[in-house]
Every structure is written in structure tokens, then in C-alpha cells.
Structure 1
Amino acid sequence: MQKTSIDNISPNKISRKLRGLFIGALTFICSTNTIFAEEKKADVAQEKTSKTATNANSANTIEKPIALTTQHKADLKHYLSVEQVKPLLAGPNDYLTLVKRYTSANSKGVAILLPEWQQGATNPKAINYLRNALPAEGWSTIAIQPNNKPENYPSSAITLSEQKKENKLILKNYKNKLGAMLNAVMNTAKEYPGIVLVIAQGNNAALLVDLYSEAGNQLPNALILLSSYRKSNPGLTNSVNEKFARQLAFTELPVLDLYLKHDNPLVLAKAAQRKSFAKQEMKVYYRQRQLNNYITGYYPEKELLIQINGWLKAIGW
């Protein structure tokens, strides 16, 4: 049998064989790349699904922000001494107060300090300065950590009548708690000799006047207002602040009404109305003063103390 020699194979046959091998190899490579590409797509899709599930689980486990009042209480307990921080129970609700005894030779009485809602008992705008300065003037001070601003206030209802109705219900609950707290603080203040002076700020000051116009609330001997006004919906702002001004004019409490040159626009807009109503009712122990300040909302410390001492001496204290 005759053997086949490579020399006897024609170049055309070799070329066709090599072409076939090349095409086969190329087909194998392409098919392999296709398989790898499909596997990679599957892996990417699975990774996206896994990330989506992880994010969904994370969203479900995110905790709600800590309430501002809770944060204030935690800060007071952490940064101030145990001797100053005193718990207070008013009905089912608990509060924190900061107590400092007078350091002068004689005691004049107790000054209860109520900051604006959303602010702490060590609010640097005025309250904290008075808390530390008044004891040297003969006053024991009780600074209160108030409740946070009522939720959903002012109302987001569509019509004005609905806003008015919802606001009344929201503030009724807040005022009930505020009244119970003030009565509890007043009971504590009676343990100290002398008169009781309340210094209140912002919306809480206006709500206090509302409470003092109702029966069943213990009254202090005098009231000092710091930048007081009533916040409400745009369509109700004028009416609620007019009501506040009339209640202030009718109250028998001696009142020192202080506000700032650079203050909340609503405070500046309604200050003249309060003074006018007080004059109409011939309110004897009423004084209103505007204090010059450089930083909006911050009371000049020395001038604030001078105004308070001067007014107290004018009414015999």
C-alpha cells in the first residue's frame, strides 16, 4: 500500500484544512465569550437584586429621629450637676427643672423661667443669663425645660374655618400640659420665701397670658414677657395676636413687656398693638421697652438686667 506523503498534498487542500481549523477555533471562542457574557449579566442582575433587598431592609430598620425635648433633657442631665437638675412630675408627664438658690444676703423671691418652645432651659438668648445672674440679685431661679412645639401646628387644613378649629384642638392639649406644669412649679416655688416672678419667652409667653385669663390657674405676683407673640396660619395671625393683646390688657398682673430692635418680624409688628390696648384699659403696672441688640433674637445681657431691676423697683419690689 502506497504511503501518503505531505509532499503529495496539494497547497489548496492544506489551505482549506487550516481555514476549517481557524473557523472552528473562532466559533469556539465566540461561543465561550457569549456564555461568559451571559453569566456576567446574571451575576450583575443578582447583585442588583441583592443590593435592592439590602436597601429595603435598611430602610425598614432606620430608627426615627429622637425628639428635641428628649435631646434637651439628655443634655441637661449630662452637662449639669445633679444638684441643679430637679425632676418635676405634673400629672402623668415628667419635666426637668434647673434650680439655683439665691446668693445675696436677702431673698427677694423666686423667678420662674420659661423658654420658647423648641428651645432648651439653658437657651443663650436670654434665659440662661437670667438663670445665672438673678441669684446674685436675691432671686432663686427655676428654669423649666418646656415641651416641644405641638405637632402639625399650625394646621395644614385648606379652609380658614378648618384651620381655626384644628388649631384650637391642638393648642388645647398643649395648654393643658403647660398649665399643669406651671401649677406644679408654682407649688415648688412656694417652698421659697418672697414673691413669685414668671419670665416667659415667645409663644409660651402668649399662651401663659391665655392660661392666666382662665380660672383654675395659679397666678404669680408679676409677669415679664420676652419677645412674645402668637404663631398661627397667615389668615389667623392678626386675630390671635389681637386676642393676646386684649388678654394682656385685661389681666391684673403687673407686666413688663420687652422686645428687641432686631427681633422676630411678628414681634415687631404686634408690639405697638399690645401697648395701645394696655393704655386703653388704663393698665397701671404695664411697661413696654425695646432693647437695642446686635444679633437677632439675643438680648443684651446687662441692659436686660437693668430693665428688670428698674421695673421691679418701680412697682415696689
Structure 2
Amino acid sequence: MTDKTDKTDTAPDTATDATTDSPIKPPINHTKQHKQDLQHYFNDNQVTPLLAGPNDYITLVQKYTSANSKGVVILLPEWQQGATNPKAINFLRNTLPSKGWNTIAIQPENKPEGFPSTAITSEDQIKENELILTEYKRNLGELFNAVMNTAKEYSGIVLVIAQGNNGALLVDILSQTDSQRPNALILLSSYRQSNDQLIDADNETFSRQLALTELPVLDLYLKHDNSLVISKAPQRKLMAAQEMKTYYRQRQLNNTITGYYPENELLSQINGWLKAIGW
């Protein structure tokens, strides 16, 4: 009689073996991925590692290609964007050297994990947000000071073009007495992201800090932009007027794709403002 013993107990568990042999790897850190991409796609003469405190960063450096050097432009993208962000940063990085500017494009850290806070009460949200952003701003401040030290190796003025939340946080950092300061600041679609109940207060703080800074400021945003950028821009202009801030100009640029700056108009606004303040 044929033996029909069930042999399923001795059969290999292919699903388990496959999982063991090929474990699912966690996603690569967003900041690390940006760094790897820059190191892979750019030549060593453009990619410049930078040590700021205990952290390693990547910058993309391009020297001026015109007859004379005007100075240095430091490009700081939004915290979710790369140093080759196509919305505005990469265009400026590639175009400004022909206009006499050395450019240093920073690869910033990613948006801080856990921000904004998911706490239930506004009081707890404020505490957690402050704790999270304190570390992020400390790292950003160390990075900015390190880049400023590099910028001083070049002749001419130092101009910073900062985008989004990083632009707002940089204004916060520059309001501190121990921070190095550039000669002028250009903001691209800057605002403070936060919890719904805290957005008004946080952006009011940003507007006040911007109005009180002694730096010349060009404040640019888009017709088709983040809704918070559009809604909070008038507040910054009003506070700057109330504080009688000199060399402050705010402009809205017309664009067709949300978040993307029209290249020719962007460059025209920057050049026109620089000439107006004597540069």
C-alpha cells in the first residue's frame, strides 16, 4: 500500500527563507541621500565637504566667471530641498557666477523629526516645538557660521539667499548677538511652519524679527505659492513699515507653476534691488 504520509511539516518555509535572506531595509535618511547624490553627480572641484561642530555637511562651490568679482552668494534651500533645488536655488547657483558672484550652495539638514509637535495642548506643543527647533537651529547656526568663514576667503560683499522655513529660522539666528552677519539677505517664500494654533504667533515673531534686523532685506514670494507664504507676507511688510526699516523691499512675482520662481524676473528683481542699495 502506498505511503501517503503528509510531508508538509518537513517542507521548507520559502516565505520565511526569502525574508531571512533578503530582509527589507529601512529607507535611507533624506539628508544622507542628498549628500550621496551630490557626491555622485558632481566633480570633486565643486563638492566641498564642510565640518560644522560635530556634523559633516556638503556644499557646492562655484567661482565667478566674469571679469570682476562682486563677492559671495550663500544659497540656503528649504529644509526639505536639496542644494540643486530646481525651484530657484539651482538656477541662481548656475547663473550668478557669470554675473560676478562666487556661489556656495548649502545642503541643509532635513526637516527635524517630530516637528510640528503632535501634543494635545497648545502649551505642550510650544514646549516640544521649542525643544525640537532648538537643536535644529543650533546645528543651522554652526553650519552658517562655518560657511561665513569660508565666504570671508573671497573678496567683496556676502549676500545670503534663503528659502522657506530655513529663511525664517536664519532670521531668528541672525537676531542673536553672537551670530556672524552677511551684508544683505534675500528671502524666497519664507514663513514659519507650525501647529495650526501656533502659526499666527510664530509668524508674527518672524515678522517682528525681520523688521528689527539691521540687514537690508529683499522679501520675495510668488502669486502661486504656499498659502501660508501668501497670507503672512502682508504682515511682514506692515511691520517693516511700522519699524521704518530701511532697505526693505517686498515683491510678489508672477509664476505659472506653484512654488517655481520665474527665472528672468527673479534675476531682474535681485539685480535691481542690489543696484538700489548701492551694489
Candidates 109, 116, 129, aligned match of 1:167: 129
Deviations 1:243-295 (A, max 9, x none): 00010001000000000000011101100111011011011110000000000
Deviations 1:2-48 (A, max 9, x none): xxxxxxxxxxxxxxxxxxxxxxxxxx8xxx7xx73xx44x51x665x
1:256 is matched with: 218
1:180 is matched with: 142
Deviations 1:125-168 (A, max 9, x none): 00000001111111100000000110111111111111110000
Query: Whole-Å Cα distance in 2 between the matches of residues 46 and 301 of structure 1?
Result: 67
Candidates 95, 100, 120, aligned match of 2:62: 100
2:95 is matched with: 133
Alignment map for 1:2-13 (pairs within 5 Å): none
Opposite residue 222 of structure 2, the aligned amino acid is L
Query: Whole-Å Cα distance in 2 between the matches of residues 142 and 305 of structure 1?
Result: 17
Q: CA RMSD in A?
A: 1.6
**Unaligned segments of structure 1, at least 5 residues:** 1-27
Secondary structure of the residue aligned to 1:166 is helix
What is the percentage of aligned positions where both structures have the same residue? Answer: 68
Could you list the structure 1 runs, at least 4 aligned residues long, displaced by more than 2 angstroms after superposition: 49-59
Opposite residue 142 of structure 2, the aligned amino acid is A
Query: Whole-Å Cα distance in 2 between the matches of residues 297 and 246 of structure 1?
Result: 25
Query: Whole-Å Cα distance in 1 between the matches of residues 10 and 80 of structure 2?
Result: 47
**How far did 1:54 drift?**
3.6
When the two structures are superposed, what TM-score results if normalisation uses the length of structure 2?
0.96
Secondary structure of the residue aligned to 2:13 is helix
1:124 is matched with: 86
User: Whose relative contact order is higher, 1 or 2, with alpha carbons under 8 Å and at least 6 apart?
Assistant: 2
Query: Whole-Å Cα distance in 1 between the matches of residues 32 and 132 of structure 2?
Result: 20
**How far did 1:103 drift?**
1.1
When the two structures are superposed, what TM-score results if normalisation uses the length of structure 1?
0.85
Candidates 77, 99, 109, aligned match of 1:115: 77
Query: Whole-Å Cα distance in 2 between the matches of residues 179 and 81 of structure 1?
Result: 27
Q: CA 1:163–1:135 in 2, change beyond 3 Å: closer, same or farther? A: same
**How far did 1:52 drift?**
5.9
**Unaligned segments of structure 2, at least 5 residues:** none
Structure number with larger C-alpha Rg: 1
Secondary structure of the residue aligned to 2:204 is helix
Greater helix percent: which structure?
A: 1
